[in-house]
Structure 1
């Protein structure tokens, strides 16, 4: 088993915090990853899988457990049963943005709006990553998983993962455990073959971000370049000298609220109706003739839930870009109010303290509690 000398997680996470585990394993092949997980699970000890470290807030204390570093990589192109599409099977440790760059070079659309998102491919279905209205759920076909309960490897269709807004059955939400304790070994996506010429964007949110009119043609390269430039302006593309990028990206999820609650928020608060990917068709109303009394009940109107901007809520709770608590080395990014950053030497507790303060202020001002997006390990929010 490829065991290595343990190092602090502070050197492996983009927030630059985290203590040292008792053991550390670096898995560079699928077989090494499977073997390591089975052996660690057999001991019953604490364990943590780390990919790119870009979505993890880890406590500063050393801990008696094993960290498994997923360093697998590789892209395999596969045929698709759908005309004009192709499939790619990608190992879990493969860099996510490297996959997006590959898709653009190959003329494949479906993930280009997620350019610049840090981390590894294996993490992408865990929280159904997305950006500018594009999400993994739209292209994901299946994943290969290894389950903790059995140690068995299986191929699981996307529709069995309960993919929702930044969630799945695989995600450990803060304060709860995953519905299915398993580790992703590979991901299979189905992408559309659009080539290197212009094609039409379907998403209104992406068109708005790019300043593209409905029906206007764009190239994959233009979309990727524009998204990367936009993310860089917000400090959301890793840049070692820039402390605004020493973050876990968006620390809080955009809030999902009912349409009625959204109407209680100020009208200038940005909001987007959630796409109804899995909304069932309305059932036919059947009234037995013997029970019919001449009255037909009115149909019930179900409005979709609404996604509202967490960054707007934070700023309008009085916490502007660059905000810091007194004497803290953690602060909001000077470029984006949704990123909690390590300004240099911050502890995990300082970042957690700032997160708690933000939650309290937003709740007091708007009546909702923002939920953290990263995996939180060994520290309380």
Structure 2
């Protein structure tokens, strides 16, 4: 099996050994068989793959053991005004969001159409259209591969930030996940109306003011429509959607102004939950476009190119290799840095893959 079969961008070499975990117990068993020891890089590597929407594996593949997270199941605990919804790590994210909207639960509707699984969502604190998954997560049940214990981490323990969390930071420390998500619990409102809409483009599409709500089903439909217009909803027949979503994170600038005309957003300190003074987040897509790297831009073989709909997505036009994608990513990164002095950082997890210097 190759990682081109396991990722949404459809590139990557062979997986040497693959285990499919269809239940929470099987996922725990794999974790117990692949413990971590203190100190980065001291344990044989293990790779956990779910939807493959945020993973770029090199053309040489991965020589360690790979676990396919396929555990399913959703439980609910009704409350007076809200419902605690717990989903297993392998639940398909958009199917889960759709079911919550269908049953009159509000809080996740702006995150419709994001590829991947429930277990991956808290790792990088996925977000879109002004919403983040941390807005509704109450806790995550995780397995600690260092101690060999399953434990529940409350939202405050997860130290969420922009596209990051304790889960992501500890994975970087060890070079592989320390905490493997088993299930996630969300506190969702019993409401036919959405959470306040925070994103101007979405508010305009809905005909409401920023800060107002709208029927959750309308918000979901509008988000899906916007995402499709940007090639951000996976379509087997459309190579413009064969991507990893947003390839670069929106850069956070500290101690320097944003480029003239660029969007500017406040930055939340993950330890305090307050706006970080002197820090501003700007738009990677805006920077790429203003650096002269237009939609459809490609280098080398042309098998990898920026999406024809959205400059933040790097796409496989057919037959692309991981090397093709990395070459394109490096060209985009370098073009933005040359124009603005800002170095973009990749959002996907790179395994056996490095952007050329």
Give TM-score scaled by structure 2 length.
0.91
Q: Distance in 1 between matches of 2:107 and 2:175?
A: 27
Residue 9 (1) aligns with residue 14 (2): no
**Unaligned ranges ≥5, structure 1:** 1-6, 282-300
Q: Is the 8 Å Cα contact of residues 288 and 332 (structure 2) preserved in structure 1?
A: yes
SS in 1 for 2:12: coil
CA deviation after TM superposition for structure 1 residue 328, in Å: 3.1
Map 1:190-201 to 2 at 5 A.
Answer: 190-195=187-192, 198=193, 201=196
Within-5 A mapping of 1:118-267: 118-171=115-168, 177=174, 181-195=178-192, 198=193, 201-205=196-200, 206-208=202-204, 210-214=206-210, 218-258=214-254, 260-263=255-258, 265-266=259-260
The 3-state SS of whatever aligns with 1:121 is coil
Q: State the secondary structure of the residue aligned to 2:168.
A: coil
Shift of 1:203: 2.4
Residue by residue over 1:307-344, the C-alpha shift from the partner in whole angstroms, topping out at 9 and shown as x without a partner, is: 21100100111100000003231110000000001111
Cα displacement (A) at 1:190: 0.4
TM-aligned CA distance change 1:313 to 1:78, over 3 Å: same
Deviation (angstroms), 1:107: 1.0
Report matched runs for 1:1-381 at 5 Å: 7-41=1-35, 44-80=43-79, 83-171=80-168, 177=174, 181-195=178-192, 198=193, 201-205=196-200, 206-208=202-204, 210-214=206-210, 218-258=214-254, 260-263=255-258, 265-266=259-260, 268-275=261-268, 279=272, 303=277, 305-381=279-355
SS in 1 for 2:337: helix
User: What displacement does 1:64 show?
Assistant: 2.2
Mapped partners of 2:330, 2:305: distance in 1: 12
Runs of 4+ in structure 1 off by over 6 angstroms are: none
Determine if contact 1:52/1:118 at 8 Å carries over to the other structure: yes
* Structure 2 gaps, min length 5: 38-42
Structure 1 pair 274–208 and aligned structure 2 pair: CA distance change class (3 A): farther
8 Å CA contact 2:266, 2:276 repeated in 1: no
Q: RMSD between aligned alpha carbons? A: 2.4
CA contact (8 A) 1:273 1:306 kept: yes
CA distance in 2, matches of 1:180, 1:215: 37
- Partners of 2:154 and 2:264 in 1: CA distance: 31
* Counterparts of 1:140 and 1:116, CA distance in 2: 18
CA contact (8 A) 2:18 2:65 kept: yes
Normalised by the length of structure 1, the TM-score is 0.85
Which residue in the other structure is 1:295 paired with?
none
Quickly say closer, same or farther: Cα 1:100–1:350, change in 2 above 3 A.
same
Deviation at 1:79, TM superposition (A): 3.4
CA offset at residue 162 of structure 1? 1.3
On the 8 A contact 1:332/1:339 being kept in 2, the answer is yes
CA distance in 1, matches of 2:323, 2:227: 27
